[in-house]
Amino acid sequence: MSTLPELAPFIDLATRPDVVEQFGVEPGWRFAMVRHARFADLDALAHLNHTTYLRYFEDARLQYLVHHGLEGLMRGGKDTPSPVLLGLEIRYLKPVFHGDAVLATVRTAKIGNTSMSLDYAAWTTGCAATCSSPFVLMNASTGEKITVPDDMRKSISDFEPDGLNGSPAAG
């Protein structure tokens, strides 16, 4: 039996007002992860490369979905429900520099029958970037869409500060 890889711990902002204050997080966000801007993550202008935000948001998305019931994502496998992104829209609001602590947040904007839309934000001292991404849950081996499980819907609805009708991403 294989051992699952360790997940970086997420921060429940509902229990950490100090983190909310430190990063200047606006209301409506609860699920967060801390990252640090490494030298390798910088671009030629010496600030965080635009693709690095997407990696931070990808990490947050994976953790968020696992937290809400898609543990199979960590094991993989041909019949595992997988989120297949339909697109990403990102808005860069201010630069992040080497060594800066970055708080990546994620929340559910909408749940459909087989799809979901997530909002993300990156925070340093206020919001540095926002992103949204719709995706469809699919069976990786067959390509068939999978209905969002009821227990996942309930978990998200119970967890989110504003239920499933959260405000749009900051910025």
- Rg of the chain, C-alpha, whole Å: 16
For 108, 111, 117, the CA distances from 134, given in Å and listed in that order, are 10, 10, 4
Confidence tier at 148 by pLDDT (50, 70, 90): very high
Integer Cα distance of 38 and 101 in angstroms? 10
CATH number at residue 57: 3.10.129.10
Token reading at 32 = 């967060």
Identify the residue with better confidence: 3 or 24: 24
- The pLDDT of 27-40, averaged and rounded, is 90
Are 83 and 3 contacting, i.e. CB atoms less than 8 angstroms apart?
Answer: no
Residue 46 is predicted with a pLDDT of 75
Whether 167 is covered by a domain: the verdict is no
Whether 114 is covered by a domain: the verdict is yes
Residue 50 is predicted with a pLDDT of 83
Whether 4 is covered by a domain: the verdict is no
Domain count, the chain: 1
**112-140 tens-digit pLDDT:** 999 999 999 999 999 999 999 999 999 87
Residue 76 is predicted with a pLDDT of 63
Whether 171 is covered by a domain: the verdict is no
Token reading at 59 = 């990490």
Whether 164 is covered by a domain: the verdict is no
Nearest Cα to 74, choosing from 10, 148, 161, 2? 2
- First vs last Cα of the chain: how many Å apart? 46
Return mean pLDDT, the chain: 85
- The pLDDT of 86-104, averaged and rounded, is 92
Say yes or no to pLDDT of 5 above 50.
Answer: no
Whether 3 is covered by a domain: the verdict is no
Whether 166 is covered by a domain: the verdict is no
Whether 5 is covered by a domain: the verdict is no
Integer Cα distance of 69 and 151 in angstroms? 7
Integer Cα distance of 153 and 164 in angstroms? 9
Q: Which domain holds residue 120?
A: 11-159
Say yes or no to pLDDT of 166 above 80.
Answer: no
Token reading at 137 = 């849950």
3-state secondary structure of 82: strand
**39-84 tens-digit pLDDT:** 787 777 777 778 888 999 999 999 999 999 887 666 666 677 888 8
Say yes or no to pLDDT of 8 above 90.
Answer: no
Say yes or no to pLDDT of 171 above 60.
Answer: no
User: Which helix or strand (DSSP H or E) is residue 121 part of?
Assistant: strand 115-123
